Amino acid sequence: MATALMWPEWVLVPKKVLPLFLMPRNVSGGTSDSGEEALEAAVNASRWRIGFSDISVRTDEAERVWKVIARRLSGMSGAIMVPAMARRTAPWSGLGISKIAVTLTDAILFSGGSAYRGGDTAATISALAFTAFAKGDTEADVKVAVGGELKPGMIFQYGEYVAMITEIVDVDPGGGSPVWTVAFTPPSREDVAENDILDFDNPRFRARLAEGGGMDGLTLSNWKTGNPSVVFEEDY
């Protein structure tokens, strides 16, 4: 699988966010003789979706970044890592939130054909997969070395995907670094090894444009500023 671009969240800043939600998918058991059709929710077929609206495009750099990303995504065929915008629900437990200021230049923007990958946050929460879990699993053992209490509704990133905790199954206090057994949704998209990092700080997930022309709406007022919107859907 090709490496995805990284959405530059401190360059293309939305004023509004359509919060992350799991787009349901249904499967049909077929139509009966009476004409009735039974539909069943297919959790594994569901996809995360998130939308950014009124994105501020007020500088030459922001306009160039928007246009280059739109071209690289090639309609719905390209992939990009987008923020789940879930930092507020992370287990901060009083820890501070910090971020690295990034100045874009033509030298680093897709330099040598590589993707822009700046803007990472300074990690303050440290969580690991205490034991491995496999593709399709819906439970994980999470060791929190630095951070607060895990709760249902929290989002974490593993690999290139994200999951939401739905239940706290068990807690082992351990020797100061508790291990939380959590149930999550949707089922794991990939295998996760023991001690792999689980990112609660600023989880991102692999996505594509929800519609082929999803980044075509850049209309500049007086050829200077614009406020486009875009919707992404999980690429899985």
What are the pLDDT digits (tens) for 156-170? 999 999 999 999 999
pLDDT tens digits, residue range 82-131?
999 988 888 887 555 444 334 444 333 343 344 444 444 444 789 999 99
What pLDDT score does 221 carry?
A: 67
How confident is the model over 73-82, as a mean pLDDT? 89
What pLDDT score does 144 carry?
A: 93
pLDDT over threshold 90, residue 224: no
**Sequence spans of domains, the chain:** 1-85+102-121+206-236, 125-200
What pLDDT score does 60 carry?
A: 87
pLDDT over threshold 70, residue 194: yes
Task: Say which DSSP state 9 is in.
Answer: T
- Give which of 90, 186, 83 is closest to 140, Cα–Cα: 186
With residues binned 3-state (H G I as helix, E B as strand, rest as coil), the percentages for the chain, rounded to 5, are 10, 40, 50
**By the 8 A CB rule, do 78 and 5 touch?**
yes
pLDDT over threshold 70, residue 6: yes
Class of domain 125-200: mainly beta
